Amino acid sequence: MKPRLLAVLLALSLPAFANPDSDWAAIVAMDAGPKKKPASREEAQILARTHLGKQKKLIETFLAQYPSDPRAFDARLQLAAILAATGNMDKIPQQVDEAMRILGDLEKSPGAPLEKRADAGFRRASLILLGAIGKEARMRDVIIAAARAFVSKYPGDKRGPRLLVEASTVCENDPALKRKLLNEARNLSKEEALNHRIADDLVRLNLLDRPFALKFSTVQGGTFDTSQQKGKVVVLVFWSAESPHSLLWLQGFRSSVAKLPQADLRIATISLDTNKKALAQRLEEFRIENWPTHFDGRGWENSVARPLGINAIPTVFILDKSGVLRTANARDAYEAWITRLLKD
């Protein structure tokens, strides 16, 4: 079919009242998501795929009909987001690659305002961070380069410091580099919440590879003192019985550590809860009543956790047999750390 004839047929197939404004309004209206409430996780995924598929078609039609419309940049930006979301959801890397290509082209658009190009650059950097999940060590240099490139291209954009802080999370095995990234972010950030996070991260970082002393009362009625645990590997878990994420993680942690040699291993926890009864129920349910556990009912302002810069849960500190804090971020690598330190 000849291109001119195809264009005529497409035009005839559109409603008589179709125009850029109404078509764009239809796209924006779909940002609210599916109207139907899913009954299960599986149904939620199906609804999301269907909804995103419909929005994708609307965007592609809009771009085909109105390529010079001022909103074409935003349409391509949204198309990239949909491709990335569905590509990650359905494990189709080619779609994610296409999203990255679109964002890269948008970032280079000479006629686009700086803030719009920054939007494309931020989404591209965020996709790099998202794609690194599970392979952070291998992609560390790429992640850091993406964060620093954004900061360099868009000085003054408040998202730059955020990217530097996120990039610092993949540098747990390189404290010097992590500190450098956090300091770079601190020098640029004007956000109070982000500055608090950076300060907390630096507090924990400054504790590493030094003798660590901590003493606290326990719900079991005694006192736990790390200085009395020399010769043992000590694991300190900061968690909350009110956090579903903590509970899910704790199930796997409990099962894993039960398989490790227990003679030289000591586990204690610090509860960032406000409800003592709920905590007691979880300790019993998970069969960890014998783990010394601190509770003061102050939640995130817990008198043990706050001075240590705890701003996420679960957080796992591990001390070696001489009482030196070897890691303050062993949430995902606790088994390897414990196994290695038990052999030392």
Statement: residue 72 has pLDDT above 80:
yes
Statement: residue 12 has pLDDT above 50:
no
Q: For residue 195, name the pLDDT band (cuts at 50, 70, 90).
A: very high
Q: Where are the alpha helices (DSSP H) in the chain?
A: 3-13, 20-29, 41-65, 72-89, 93-107, 114-131, 136-153, 159-168, 175-188, 192-207, 244-257, 276-285, 334-343
Statement: residue 322 has pLDDT above 60:
yes
Statement: residue 275 has pLDDT above 90:
yes
| pLDDT value of position 18 | 65
| Choice between 161 and 2, residue whose per-residue pLDDT is larger | 161
Statement: residue 15 has pLDDT above 90:
no
Percentage of the chain modeled with pLDDT above 90: 81
Residue 294 three-state SS: strand
Percentage of the chain modeled with pLDDT above 70: 94
CATH 3.40.30.10 fits 215-343, yes or no: yes
| pLDDT value of position 129 | 87
Average per-residue pLDDT for the chain: 91
Provide the pairing of β-strand 215-217 with 223-225.
Answer: antiparallel
Place of tokens 């003054």: 156
Which range among 33-42, 209-218, 281-290 shows the weakest confidence by mean pLDDT? 33-42
- Per-residue model confidence as pLDDT tens digits over 223-271: 999 999 999 999 999 999 999 999 999 999 999 999 999 999 999 999 9
Q: Kindly calculate the radius of gyration of the chain based on its CA atoms and give it in whole angstroms.
A: 26
Q: Where are the alpha helices (DSSP H) in 14-110?
A: 20-29, 41-65, 72-89, 93-107
- Per-residue model confidence as pLDDT tens digits over 112-157: 999 999 999 999 999 998 887 777 778 899 999 999 999 999 999 9
Provide the pairing of β-strand 223-225 with 293-294.
Answer: unpaired
Residues 6+ apart with CB under 8 A from 52: 82, 85, 86
| pLDDT value of position 188 | 97
Q: Is the dihedral of CA 187, 189, 192, 197 positive or negative?
A: negative
Q: Which residues of 242-258 are buried (b: 16+ CB within 10 A; e: fewer)?
A: beeebbebbeebeeebe
Which range among 170-174, 285-289, 328-332 shows the weakest confidence by mean pLDDT? 170-174
The most distant pair of C-alpha atoms in the chain lies apart, rounded to whole Å, by: 85
Considering the segment(s) 11-204 as one domain, its CATH architecture is: Alpha Horseshoe (1.25)
| pLDDT value of position 266 | 97
- Per-residue model confidence as pLDDT tens digits over 149-158: 999 999 999 9
HSE on the CB side for 309, CA within 13 Å? Answer: 17
| pLDDT value of position 147 | 96
What's the first-to-final CA gap in the chain, in angstroms? 74
CB 232 within 8 A of CB 264: yes
Q: CA-CA distance, 74 to 120, in Å (whole number)?
A: 9
Q: For residue 83, name the pLDDT band (cuts at 50, 70, 90).
A: very high
Q: For residue 4, name the pLDDT band (cuts at 50, 70, 90).
A: low
Q: Which amino acid is at 56?
A: K
Q: Pick from 169, 143, 148: which is nearest to 160 by CA?
A: 148
| pLDDT value of position 135 | 75
CA 343 to chain centre: 32
- Centre a 10 Å sphere on the Cβ of residue 196 and count the other Cβ atoms it contains: 12
Residue 211 three-state SS: strand
Are 11-204 and 215-343 equal in CATH topology? Answer: no
Domain regions of the chain by residue span: 11-204, 215-343
